[in-house]
Structure 1
């Protein structure tokens, strides 16, 4: 492993923080923490921690010796000074002298020692950092170290390779670990660091660079030892032909792990992330992959992201997905039964006080296709996939020397059902559309973007389709989603775009079929080409995308919502607007047909009929033309409704949300026009 230390970057970053009023030691600690956190082979998504001992003035100006340690919820790769809460050091060190201390009491007492009560909870290993008499303490869960410790003879292997280091058998993080480490350190105060079996490594020094370089040297030593073993313990997976692709099977997996919702017809879905590399394919194709996936986690905290183990699945053959899906559901049922038994026996050991988490697997290892990781959000699924990849790397390293051996299930249960983690989970409040994936056509601006923003605010993952792919990508980036350039009048392009969405998120739950254009002209004067173009986009484009999305929804088997942006022109046509009005009337009929044909699939199909909305479609020029056609001013035209109010894109978005969230409405239309008697539906 290469050192990333840069004196120039160090000085520049630290100087900038100090100029902004940050304590210099904290500024240094922030930079060095990021240096470790940006390497996924060292820490992943909140794992690991660092600390620095320094002096900070209290609220009354009194200098106080403190420990600044990584706070709960902060990622080392993006940490800021606020992520290193300061605790009174003397009192924190003294906490190790308690004979016993529960996790909840430890957290409570540590919070009392914070200089700033608004700070995040300090790391559960804060006491351990405090009792080590060094200014800088670094802790990572390096893959290479864990690959060596997670073997039947892991402790002996570590002791032989690191004779100068303190070696600690596994103890769950927290107060007890601090006491064990203090006793061991007092016996070896000259040690340059400490390795925790099946957990990770600590290095330390008063000099931040020495502590960092010691970490890099130790990891390099582990990597070199792994390189002496078999680099391909799983063999090389053959290239399999005739397989279904990831975009086809992701919706099947996603539907198979959907949870019952609070209301009938509203399941709690997962978002899915797909990964494929040669290393992943080799692992998924290993003869003993089922055994490997059931041995446990690389490090104990991984159980929070991917549960105790994943699920190995056979290669899915194209044309045989129905049978493959049935096999998947059988295996998931067996997984649920196994997880329930695991919870029952370990909860009894814990006194029967725990509440079972959902029993669905989080990672699937599919032969020939790759890894699929599930989470309640795209971010959570991405974290799960990162952890799964790290797990494969650790297992490969261990198997190349001897065999991978994780912690016993009791230890993993204690971490998965740790009271501190249970508290975190209870604080998570999901938004109404969290876990759902929404596709919005014409999403780069105007009404489409307004509806996408409303959906994202409700928690949905967003995919924007637009003829302008660059604008779609730009808008989607702001929403944390994806943007895809797509000509909706090209059926093959639409199918490919929806497959891309399924590959990225695992499927689709919501379609806002919004894209359209307004061709004007009297029926006797408009060209046949313009008339056909109006129908190509305003009718066929909607059908192509709805058809592709419904096929994905059927594969998931969890229902869904179609929402079409029609127009009041469908029921109240205006003069010289024939191509637009007639194509939109056809679109309303299409919406109703989807409602009729797919209600049995649990899919709702509804529409909004907006009128006179300032968007990229309805430009100032068009407003002037339509106002002139009706013999009024543009201002009067835009407020020409019963309420005398101009209708906005945000108004339409709220109506769309109401229909998307409606459980028992299908074939319905909400007119959003401020009140137009002629456009009122009967």
Structure 2
């Protein structure tokens, strides 16, 4: 491991913060914290913490000694000065003298010592940082350190490698750990750093750079020791050549871990993250994979993201897919049963006061294919994926020396069901479409983009398909969605797009089949080629996308929703719009047929009948043309409805969102036109 220190970067960062009024020590601390947090082999997603002791001047002009320590909810890689809340130092240090203190009491006492009462909670290790008599304290959960400590002889390895460091047996983070470290440091005040077995490492100094580079040097030493081990510790079993793809198996996995219904009756699914690289595949192809994934976590806080154990599956053979799907369901059922038993025996130990979390696994290990990590959102699934990769790295290196040995299950349970973590989870409120994967066609502009925005605002993961490569990439990046070029008139392009969505998110739950175009002309005048083009886009394109998506929905076996843009022309045809109106009328019949054929699968099929919406389809020129055809002004034409109001794209988007959520409506057409008697469905 190499130092990432940059004199130029240090000066630029510190000067910028100081110019903005930030305490210089805090500015320095922010820079070095980010250095540590930028390396995933040191900390991941909120792990680790840092601090600096400095002096703030209160409003009355009185100086006060403070500890600026990483706050709850902040990530070291992106931290800002406000992510290191200032706590009164002397009274914080004094807390270690208490004989005992509950987690809740500790949090309350630390909050009372904040200079800014609106600041985030100080780290649960704030007292530990306070009692160490150094200006800068760095703490990470470095892979290399836990690879050494998580072994049967881990303590011996650490003492041999770091003879001048304090070694502390595992104690749960919080007040008890602060007490244990206080006693250990007072017994050896000249020690050079501190290593917490099966947890992480502390370095310190009165100089920020010295503390940071001591951390890097110690990790480098640990990595050099690990490099002496066997880099390929697993006996690898070559998977069969006819493997099913990640896109094919992801919906099976995703469906197997759905947990009933959530907000507004929507199935409570998970979003998946698939990863595969040589290191992951070596691990997944190990002959003892089932044993490896049943050992436990690399560091205790990982249990919050990926639970204690993963699920090892057999290789998915493409021509025996049904049998493999059955093995997935059996494996998940066994996992759930084991998890409930794990909860019951540990909850009994804790006095029966805990409420069980959902028992579904968060990680699948699939030979030949890779890992699948699950989370309520794409972001959460990615976090799980990062943690799984770190776990694989730690286990592989530990096995190369001797054997990986995690904490006992009781210790991991205490972290998974830690009251402080439970409080964080209680604050997480999901939106109505959180956990749902939505495909929107024609999504790069106009009505499709408005629908995608509305769905994203409701919490959905959005896959945006469009034939315009540049626009769909731009808009997907802007909305935090997944953009994919797709020609809906080409069944192969559609299938490739749905496969890509399944590989990206694990499946498909809702399809907004919106792509279309207004082909004009009299039936006796238009060419056959134009007529065929109208049906290719306005009928066949919708069928191709629905057909591919329904196959995924059926594999998931958790239902789904199809919503088609049929347009007013399907109900109330207009003059000179033959190709458009007839193809849209055929689309309405297609929608109803899907409702009939797949209602038993829990898949709804509905449509939106919108009229006179200014979009990329209905341009200003078209508005002028249609209004002239009816002998009225453009404004009167656009307001020509019962409520005398122009209907907007957001009005129509709201209708699509409503039907995407509707669980007891199928085969229906929802009209959004401000009231047009001729286009009324009944």
TM-score by length of 2: 0.99
**By how many angstroms is 1:264 displaced?**
10
In structure 2, the CA distance between the partners of 1:48 and 1:604, relative to structure 1 (3 Å rule), is: same
Partner of 1:638: 638
Partner of 1:338: 338
Partner of 1:23: 23
Partner of 2:300: 300
Whole-angstrom distance in 1 between the partners of 2:293 and 2:361:
12
**By how many angstroms is 1:477 displaced?**
1.3
Partner of 2:396: 396
Partner of 2:289: 289
Partner of 1:471: 471
Partner of 1:409: 409
Q: Quick check: 2:240–2:317 contact (8 Å CA) kept in 1?
A: no
Q: Quick check: 1:450–1:653 contact (8 Å CA) kept in 2?
A: yes
Whole-angstrom distance in 2 between the partners of 1:575 and 1:653:
27
1:582 aligns with 2:574: no
Q: Quick check: 2:285–2:368 contact (8 Å CA) kept in 1?
A: yes
Partner of 2:526: 526
Q: Quick check: 2:563–2:606 contact (8 Å CA) kept in 1?
A: yes
Partner of 2:426: 426
Partner of 1:661: 661
Q: Quick check: 2:42–2:143 contact (8 Å CA) kept in 1?
A: yes
Partner of 1:251: 251
Deviates more, 1:318-327 or 1:484-493: 318-327
**Cα deviation 1:418-437 (Å, max 9, x = unaligned):** 00011111111111111000
Partner of 2:102: 102
**By how many angstroms is 1:628 displaced?**
1.2
How many residues align structurally? 682
Partner of 1:358: 358
Whole-angstrom distance in 1 between the partners of 2:352 and 2:606:
47
Whole-angstrom distance in 1 between the partners of 2:188 and 2:481:
51
SS at match of 2:266: coil
Whole-angstrom distance in 2 between the partners of 1:393 and 1:109:
38
**By how many angstroms is 1:627 displaced?**
0.9
Partner of 1:450: 450
Partner of 2:165: 165
Q: Quick check: 1:265–1:602 contact (8 Å CA) kept in 2?
A: no
SS at match of 1:489: coil
Equivalent residues in 2 for 1:374-393 (5 A)? Answer: 374-393=374-393
Whole-angstrom distance in 1 between the partners of 2:6 and 2:449:
43
Partner of 1:648: 648
Partner of 1:277: 277
Whole-angstrom distance in 2 between the partners of 1:16 and 1:579:
62
Equivalent residues in 2 for 1:603-642 (5 A)? Answer: 603-642=603-642
Whole-angstrom distance in 1 between the partners of 2:402 and 2:144:
14
**By how many angstroms is 1:60 displaced?**
3.2
Gap regions ≥5 residues in structure 2: none
Whole-angstrom distance in 1 between the partners of 2:288 and 2:585:
59
**By how many angstroms is 1:239 displaced?**
5.7
1:499 aligns with 2:493: no
**By how many angstroms is 1:382 displaced?**
0.5
Q: Quick check: 2:264–2:432 contact (8 Å CA) kept in 1?
A: no
**Cα deviation 1:388-422 (Å, max 9, x = unaligned):** 11001000111000000000000000000000011
Which consecutive aligned stretches of 4+ in structure 1 deviate over 6 angstroms post-superposition? none
**By how many angstroms is 1:632 displaced?**
1.1
Deviates more, 1:15-24 or 1:459-468: 15-24
Partner of 1:115: 115
**Cα deviation 1:645-673 (Å, max 9, x = unaligned):** 00001000111111111110000111100
SS at match of 1:77: coil
**By how many angstroms is 1:446 displaced?**
1.0
Partner of 1:484: 484
SS at match of 2:109: helix
Partner of 2:206: 206
Whole-angstrom distance in 1 between the partners of 2:160 and 2:263:
58
SS at match of 1:438: strand
SS at match of 1:574: coil
Partner of 1:34: 34
Partner of 2:554: 554
Q: Please, what is the CA RMSD of the aligned residues?
A: 1.0
Whole-angstrom distance in 1 between the partners of 2:547 and 2:265:
21
Whole-angstrom distance in 2 between the partners of 1:650 and 1:87:
47
SS at match of 1:454: helix
Partner of 2:7: 7
Q: Quick check: 2:237–2:287 contact (8 Å CA) kept in 1?
A: no
Partner of 1:329: 329
Q: Quick check: 2:623–2:634 contact (8 Å CA) kept in 1?
A: yes
Whole-angstrom distance in 1 between the partners of 2:93 and 2:237:
52
SS at match of 2:392: helix
**By how many angstroms is 1:192 displaced?**
2.1
**By how many angstroms is 1:237 displaced?**
5.1
Q: Quick check: 2:239–2:315 contact (8 Å CA) kept in 1?
A: no
SS at match of 1:359: coil
**Cα deviation 1:499-532 (Å, max 9, x = unaligned):** 0000000001010000111111111222221111
**By how many angstroms is 1:238 displaced?**
2.9
**By how many angstroms is 1:26 displaced?**
1.0
Equivalent residues in 2 for 1:133-172 (5 A)? Answer: 133-172=133-172
**By how many angstroms is 1:328 displaced?**
0.7
Whole-angstrom distance in 2 between the partners of 1:343 and 1:536:
55
**By how many angstroms is 1:358 displaced?**
0.5
1:602 aligns with 2:602: yes
**By how many angstroms is 1:188 displaced?**
1.6
Gap regions ≥5 residues in structure 1: none
Q: Quick check: 1:440–1:464 contact (8 Å CA) kept in 2?
A: yes
Q: Quick check: 1:237–1:281 contact (8 Å CA) kept in 2?
A: no
In structure 2, the CA distance between the partners of 1:237 and 1:136, relative to structure 1 (3 Å rule), is: farther
